[in-house]
Amino acid sequence: MMNSRIFITIVLSCIIASIHAYDPDALQDLCVADKSHGTKLNGFPCKEMSNITSSDFFFGGISSPAVINSTMGSAVTGANVEKIPGLNTLSVSLARIDYAPGGLNPPHTHPRATEVVFVLEGELEVGFITTSNKLFSQTIKTGEVFVFPRGLVHFQKNNGKSPASVLSAFNSQLPGTVSVAATLFAADPALPEDVLTKTFQVGSKMVDKIKERLSTKK
């Protein structure tokens, strides 16, 4: 009986230890990011407590829709540690994504976080692709939620005739974004052209055309 209890305790301890945010745990109450500090860390150095104010924990930039002026028809407004220094070491962040009718948040990944989207308004087609190339997609509307597992390629598309918006939550203070098309065709320095032509089984002219079009998509 005692051995069984010890075994169960060990198993539960292992499970609890494995359930954590992707960022390292905080070792103090507050570690407000000191972005002016010259030291390079995996994260940001902490401000002196005497220099911390309530504004370090506030950001009003996602309270209203963003101006959409990209050719993709979407705009992402991050509410991460770069905008809210108080998020440093807390392993959470948000973003607001606004979509014009027909707007697309093109295929991309977040290497450091799982993403959960909550639809503020409108209707979206969303989906992600697993490492075995299986697509999981869904149409979501106001008040509904969808999850994109960390590191997997995913997208959101507004197929409606009216604007749409979502609020995204991440289990990282800075989840990072890797856009598939921009990474391959707009890298600096550029990928060797023969890598792209062989990967996509197209000619150099097509690669150059894609590069030219992506260079105008801000």
Q: Which residues does the annotation place in the binding site for Mn(2+)?
A: 108, 110, 115, 154
Residues contacting 211, CB < 8 A, separation 6+: 185, 186, 190
DSSP 45-63: PBPPGGG--GGGG---TTS
Rounded Cα distance between 183 and 153, Å, is: 13
Rounded Cα distance between 91 and 175, Å, is: 9
Q: Which stretches of the chain are assigned E, i.e. beta strand?
A: 74-79, 93-99, 104-109, 115-121, 123-129, 135-141, 145-148, 153-157, 164-170, 178-179
Annotated binding residues for oxalate: 105, 110, 115
Rounded Cα distance between 176 and 206, Å, is: 29
Angle at 159 between CA 155 and CA 164, to 5 degrees: 80
Annotated binding residues: 105, 108, 110, 115, 154
